[in-house]
Amino acid sequence: MNSLELLPVGRRVAYWRGRRKLSQQVFADRLGKSKSWVDKVERGVRSLDKVSTLQGIAAVLRIDTTVLLGRDARPAAVTERVEGVERIGEALSAYEIALCRPAARRVLLPADRLARQVEHAWIMFEHARYPQVIALVPDLLAGAQRVHADDPGWGRPLLVEAYRVTASLLVKLGEADLGWLAADRAMATATGDPLLVAAATVQLGQALRACGRARAAMSATLAAAYRIAPPDPDEGRAPELSLCGTLLIQAALAAARHGDDHATAELIGEAADMATRVGDGHDHHHTAFGPTAVGLARVAAALDLGNASDAVAWHEKATERNAWRWLPAGHRAAHLLDAARAYLQADDPINAGRVLVDADRTAPAEVRQRPAGREVLAQVARDPHAPATIIQLAAALGVS
């Protein structure tokens, strides 16, 4: 092992940036990040634990990702595409209605039953029952497209919701490009209705961030949020405030991904004010928005800004709330993955293992099927103080 491989990953980034004769500012611009973000990475203040981020850095530096990682810090192997996702891709690639082709050989449900199926898909998604949602989505998309073609007024919100749940699912499963396609379809279908557009923009923001387009995500979510923001928040209705607040959270997370501490704090502060008016225990527009959701967003934002101790503090505060237990199981388990990352970055592998075990008990698919979950599992399992249950689970899933 040469001396470069012994350096922390941030120092390797700095070394190769110097070799390519790039200033921190130029390097940051090419990555779509801020100069302060690059500085934190190179000083080791901010961890690089996302494969997509490492791949982006390696591409700018014109080196292989493994050169950045070294032999002792490789991420978990990229898992094979989750079974059934191909069928969703095929459904998104079908243009039978636009091309006036006959419907594929499938039973098309009546509109009212289809609406119940879309709602059922959302419930399954929120409880991280991903295999069931994967099985539902292709027929939901075909049915919703047919209803929209026959009755655009009634079918438009139904089709937007079908695309939204599809986009959310695909982003969860690491299929960011397909998720972006589904979110884009939702946006196109919703055009002309500010509330439908706002709802679709939630998934668009998620997909754009997952594709590494933080600036575009921030721009889109802010535009949609301020378009529906009530002139007087005290007079705003809870459903609209929930959508607006969720969009502000998405914008804040995009700002954090870009390394903008100030914008992140301001946007989360705005969202927190709206959350106070909405309260906990609601799921307007499938956002689960409220004070507890804002608290969980603070954890994710602090992680992206490289502030592990802040992330841990926000996690412990948020999960002490009674309303924490009211959130859907998938939402809680996804947050616990963030908490495990925060504890790892804070050099607390014991608590990282503890919350990861909790995540697996709460919603196993979050840990076992999501690429992000498997990545965290691999990181925790490598630590000598990892719980035996985590080591056994990593071995069973072939994650190392």
Structure tokens at 294: 């804002």
Q: What percent of the chain has pLDDT over 70?
A: 90
Q: How far apart are CA 319 and CA 335, in angstroms?
A: 10
- Is 60 exceeded by the pLDDT of residue 362? yes
For residue 69, pLDDT over 90 is answered with no
Taking residues 191-201, what's their average pLDDT? 97
Q: What tens digit of pLDDT does each residue of 305-335 get?
A: 888 899 999 999 999 999 999 999 999 999 9
CATH class of domain segment(s) 82-208 = mainly alpha
Q: Is the pLDDT of residue 96 over 80?
A: no
Q: Please report how the helices 388-397 and 371-382 are oriented relative to each other, as an axis angle in degrees rounded to 10.
A: 130
Residue with tokens 């990593």: 394
pLDDT score at 12: 84
Give CA 368 to chain center in angstroms: 16
Q: State mean pLDDT over 183-202.
A: 97
Distances (CA, A) of 28 to 50, 132, 188: 17, 41, 32
- pLDDT given at position 223: 97
What mean pLDDT comes out for the span 56-70? 75
Of 344, 337, 326, 345, the residue nearest 371 (C-alpha): 337
Residue 76 has pLDDT above 50, yes or no: no
Q: Tell me, what's the pLDDT at 17?
A: 87
Which tokens in the block code for residue 181?
């396609």
Distance CA 356, CA 353 (A): 5
Encode pLDDT of 6-35 as tens digits.
567 888 888 888 888 899 999 998 888 888
Residue 242 has pLDDT above 60, yes or no: yes
Does the domain at 4-69 match CATH 3.40.50.12500? Answer given as no
In this structure, what token pair is assigned to residue 151?
């009755």
For the entire predicted model, the pTM comes to 0.81
pLDDT band, residue 295 (cuts 50/70/90):
very high
**Which run of H or E residues covers position 83?**
none
**Are the CB atoms for 377 and 390 separated by under 8 Å?**
yes
What pLDDT, on the 0 to 100 scale, is given for residue 75?
41
Average pLDDT value over all residues in the chain: 88
pLDDT tens for each residue of 146-167: 999 988 888 999 999 999 999 9
Are the C-beta atoms of 342 and 378 separated by less than 8 Å?
no
Pure H helices in 93-129: 111-126
The model's pLDDT over 369-399, given as tens digits with 9 standing for 90+, comes to: 898 899 889 888 888 878 888 888 888 888 8
Q: Give start-end residues of each CATH 1.25.40 domain in the chain.
A: 82-208
Written in H, E and C, the secondary structure of 65-81 is HHHHHCCCCCCCCCCCC
